[in-house]
A and B are shown apart, each in its own frame.
Chain A
């Protein structure tokens, strides 16, 4: 399993459209991707669940990536987070 910790810098937090594009990217991988914030967690491959986390600027999230292609998936996720969130 790979673990990524990231603090959101975008003033909008995780908004619908970039979140939707992120979900699309993640869906191309087999790995299971789970996002944690505080005591809440969600399947990051599901747009509405991800939006329901209400992730805002300055929130720190932890993401677990687990599966056959976890290395590639985690690398892609990290890149997407840095670029858009």
Chain B
């Protein structure tokens, strides 16, 4: 078995035989020509045929991938009608006496270079469009039919690179997955693959032509491909793929439905995510919003303290993409157990009870304020909730709110207005449960972090497997704390959700609903199974 890695375009599994997609080798003659008229006519005819093809691809892409993804082809058709590009090509035929193929290559390459050298990243990428239409014209001139390269059997296609035109031309019923040596996650090809729901790996440097005909599995979750996988691996990934299919069927059935019990009680089901790259999962699984957006990724993926702008861009992306759905971002929850080199944190004997989360943030205020300003700037782009972790006292919440006010002033002084947002507290310590009434008066929502709440209530280290005999994840102490928190919240008009692992525990869903929980936030893939469970519960029926 061989394992190769790349960048994954889509979380998904593809299993099948590999077909190596190699464009036929053609050589462009540099010999001088006699019959200029014929070459001019050949170029015109090829260009017109290419325009017809691009318009047809547009129609196909609208159906396969949607209007937005299809636009590139209507742009291609328009570029092929550009007078400067046509004149430049014809000049080479007329004045330098070269054939249509050579003239096309030189003139189109020159135009591609003009775009490649522009500063604007969007314009830079347009050079790929010019290369694409160049290839389209050359294919017509050489009489190459790109469809014939795909083969007749369902396969995972392996190529050096694929142009958007090539990607859309592919017969989707025979396309299991795509692996390319080049390309980027934001290329048109990647975007098309994503919107067509096809697992794809780009920038897979180890691509080899001898893979042709071998069995392979693309594991989009882990950004890798297995060539000649072992039987065990095949069985486990096949199971994962079957699960995906079930999930898809569930989605068809449940998408757009409400999270309502038989007797008519509706709650919110949100998703927990770890970064902007999970936004697609939130949408695919039809979550009502994001109940826990862990902001640690901005710190853990960086070499130095991330700037306000970097953070703002990441938060804005999520808030804007999901608007008007609510997105609750938890402020930095880093402690001595998560190593972040540049933060220079002291080693602690007992990090779980140490300087973590809000304690770290209120100790290092400049660092915290950078995050708060970035969050406040993102507020105007959608429906933002800001949530503070590890709160044990009202004083801490007051200080957080004072810092928010300070940051708002600073932003106003810079001419930035701050939009509406709501404030939440994570309930993950017994202390927070005991003072939930006081906290509820000061915030808009609670979210119960059952993992830490269990650990701190039972005094059991969750990472220590030898304590498993003592760990009861449904311990009545924890369940009572949840009930107390919900009741305290409701006394003050504060809604209460659960974002820890227990939220996705389907054996507790009915219990939580009877307790009066308003929201459950779970892994994106758990959203639909949870919805199904809720829709089967009848609270009027005696338990």
Interfacial residues, chain A to chain B (CB-CB below 8 A): 12-13, 15-17, 20, 23-24, 45-49, 51-52, 54, 56
Task: Map CB proximity to A onto B115-157 as digits: 1 under 8 Å, 0 otherwise.
Answer: 1001110110010010000000000000000000000000000
Query: Interface residue tally of chain B, by bracket?
Result: 20 to 34
A7 to B79, CA, bound (A): 25
The 8 closest A-B pairs by CB, nearest first: A20-B78, A16-B75, A48-B82, A47-B82, A17-B71, A46-B84, A17-B75, A54-B120
Most interface-central of B79, B120, B123 (chain A CB within 10 A):
B123
Q: In the complex, are the beta carbons of B120 and A13 less than 8 A apart?
A: yes
Where chain B touches its partner, the secondary structure class is helix
Task: State whether the Cβ of B83 lies closer than 8 Å to any Cβ in chain A.
Answer: yes
Contact of B123 among A47, A49, A54 (CB under 8 A): A54
Task: State whether the Cβ of B56 lies closer than 8 Å to any Cβ in chain A.
Answer: no
Chain B residues positioned under 8 Å from A47 (CB to CB):
78-79, 81-82
Q: In the complex, are the beta carbons of A52 and B78 less than 8 A apart?
A: no
Q: In the complex, are the beta carbons of A56 and B75 less than 8 A apart?
A: no
Within the complex, what minimum Cβ distance (angstroms) separates B284 from chain A?
A: 26
Which B residues from 41 to 100 make CB contacts under 8 A with A? 71, 74-75, 78-79, 81-85
Chain B residues positioned under 8 Å from A20 (CB to CB):
74-75, 78-79
Known: A46-B82, A48-B85, A48-B111. A54 touches B75 (CB 8 A): no
Known: A46-B82, A48-B79, A48-B111. A54 touches B126 (CB 8 A): no
Chain B residues positioned under 8 Å from A15 (CB to CB):
122
Within the complex, what minimum Cβ distance (angstroms) separates B433 from chain A?
A: 46
Chain B residues positioned under 8 Å from A56 (CB to CB):
120
A46 to B74, CA, bound (A): 16
Within the complex, what minimum Cβ distance (angstroms) separates A79 from chain B?
A: 20
Within the complex, what minimum Cβ distance (angstroms) separates A38 from chain B?
A: 13
Q: In the complex, are the beta carbons of A49 and B84 less than 8 A apart?
A: yes
Q: In the complex, are the beta carbons of A24 and B78 less than 8 A apart?
A: yes
A47 to B74, CA, bound (A): 13
| 26 pairs, CB–CB < 8 Å, chain A vs chain B | A15-B122, A16-B126, A16-B129, A17-B71, A17-B74, A17-B75, A17-B78, A20-B75, A20-B78, A20-B79, A23-B78, A24-B78, A45-B83, A46-B82, A46-B83, A46-B84, A47-B81, A48-B84, A48-B114, A49-B82, A49-B84, A51-B115, A51-B123, A52-B118, A54-B118, A54-B123
Chain A residues positioned under 8 Å from B71 (CB to CB):
17
For A45, the closest partner residue in chain B by CB is B83
A56 to B74, CA, bound (A): 22
A32 to B414, CA, bound (A): 44
For B78, the closest partner residue in chain A by CB is A20
Chain B residues positioned under 8 Å from A24 (CB to CB):
78
A13 to B119, CA, bound (A): 13
A24 to B82, CA, bound (A): 10
Within the complex, what minimum Cβ distance (angstroms) separates B1 from chain A?
A: 44
Within the complex, what minimum Cβ distance (angstroms) separates A49 from chain B?
A: 6
Task: Map CB proximity to A onto B402-439 as digits: 1 under 8 Å, 0 otherwise.
Answer: 00000000000000000000000000000000000000
Within the complex, what minimum Cβ distance (angstroms) separates B191 from chain A?
A: 15
A52 to B118, CA, bound (A): 8
Q: In the complex, are the beta carbons of B126 and A51 less than 8 A apart?
A: yes
A16 to B81, CA, bound (A): 13
A52 to B115, CA, bound (A): 7
A24 to B111, CA, bound (A): 20
